[in-house]
Structure 1
Amino acid sequence: MDLQTLGNPSAATEDQRIAALQKIVLGTPVLMRILHAIKDIGLPDAWLVSGGVYQTVWNALTGRPSDFGIKDYDVIYFDGTDLSYEAEDAVIRDMNARLPDLADKLEVRNQARVHLWYERRFGRPYFPLICAMESLTTYAAKTHAVAVRLGDRGTLEVQAPFGLAPIFAMRLVPNLSTDNRPTYDEKARRMTALWPELTVVDWDST
């Protein structure tokens, strides 16, 4: 099936989109290196999420190099047993040591402790999460909410609470359950400059 067809919800199933995403990720060496590092460390509830995943798909759709425009690779995990900065920093340093050539692009965060620093940094409160996947529902754009990780026997697990159709349609869709329009608008400006094929749904039109 043509990749562009996958963006049409009535022309393809979500299972077909998942299979296409799996094929793209499994065929992208830099993503696989990150995923293997996550698995080797043994982080609890750990995933590669957001831009490193959906922007790789956009590059496959548009014929660009797989790493084109990717600002960072977001790795999330959930460890409620130790909410200290020191514990999180140790994980960050471990990931950086395993992938030194990617250290300046890795963003590793324990989702169990985001609520401790988020308001101080962004000026908005953030409720304590109960698992890593809950964080995907707080992203400014539904299109950004995608996560992958290696399962047993090398299988690739995929999570996308709002579905994968917007990713394959190259359609940026706001998540109105968040009070995060400035972030949405800023990301829309950056992304359309890099991927002019992108359609942006205005925050006020949904």
Structure 2
Amino acid sequence: MLGRLPLAEQLVAFRAALGHNEILTEVMARTATLDLPGWYVTAGCLFQTVWNVVTGRPPAHSIRDYDVFYFDDTDLSWEAEDAVIKAGQEVFDGLPAEVEIRNEARVHLWYERKFGVPCAPHDSTESAIDRFAATTCCLGVRLERGGEWRVYAPHGLSDVFNLVVRPNPVLAPRQVYEAKAARWKEEWPELTVLPWPSGEAGGDPRR
């Protein structure tokens, strides 16, 4: 099984799996042209691509959108983020997918109003990825200068390849994890969904 390979071989297999999703690789290539600070393509479009490849489904099956995170704390205004979003709309024009761009330096300004729990300011894109509701979601990939791939996977890749959904109780409510896991289980019934630990809070409900 791919989840039992040495980490270096898992990284090769991970990149190969993502490469099957032509929409994803195009999103990565176009995002690189925006030159956003600390950017990653992240969340569902990554682990769901792997699930699709591992289970023999079309690579883009049931992927709702493609998330791009970046981190710019030099200007926390909505106007600055909106300018980036509008630039992205031009760059991604013609792609058969929705691409959502968000400045993770601004999340704490609106998070509690939207999700009902406070969120401490992130200090990097990586710290935002760390707070997703499931550890399986905690992934980020970007193209570096020269075409090299940078992969951020703080919990490794074994669960992704092994189709395991594991809770990450650091921020959002338990019901968010359970709702997402239930939806994923409907689309990918091969998944093993691990239960939320009792007495814990939660991870970022956005992914």
TM over 0.5: yes
The structure with more helix, counted as a fraction of residues: 1
2:8 pairs, out of 15, 25, 28, with 15
In structure 1, the residue matched to 2:35 is 42
Give 5+ residue unaligned stretches, structure 1: none
Deviates more, 1:189-198 or 1:173-182: 173-182
- Counterpart of 2:164 (choices 168, 171, 176) is 171
State the distance in 2 between where 1:90 and 1:150 align.
Answer: 22
Aligned with residue 2 of structure 2, among 6, 9, 12? 6
* Alignment map for 1:5-154 (pairs within 5 Å): 5-7=1-3, 11-102=4-95, 105-154=98-147
Choose which of 155, 174, 178 in structure 2 pairs with 1:185: 178
Alignment correspondent of 1:200: 193
* Alpha-carbon distance in 2 for matches of 1:165, 1:148: 16
Q: What RMSD over aligned residues (CA atoms) do the two structures have, in Å? A: 1.6
TM-score by length of 1: 0.91
Q: Is the 8 A contact 1:96 1:103 kept in 2?
A: no
**2-structure distance, mates of 1:104, 1:152:** 25
- Aligned equivalents of 2:73 and 2:29: distance in 1? 23
Displacement after TM superposition at 1:146 (Å): 0.5
Summarize deviations over 1:132-157 as a string: whole Å, max 9, x none: 00011111100000000001321211
Match of 2:205 in 1: none
Q: Work out whether 1:159 is the aligned partner of 2:152.
A: yes
String of CA shifts for 1:141-188, please: whole Å, max 9, x gaps.
Answer: 000000000013212111111111110010000012334311101101
Give me the whole-angstrom Cα distance separating, in 2, the residues matched to 1:97 and 1:129: 28
- Secondary structure of 2:26's match? helix
Shift of 1:115: 0.2
Q: Distance in 1 between matches of 2:193 and 2:70?
A: 29
Aligned-partner residue type, residue 91 of structure 2: R
Q: How many residues align?
A: 199
Question: How far, CA to CA, are the matches of 1:112 and 1:21 in structure 2?
Answer: 28
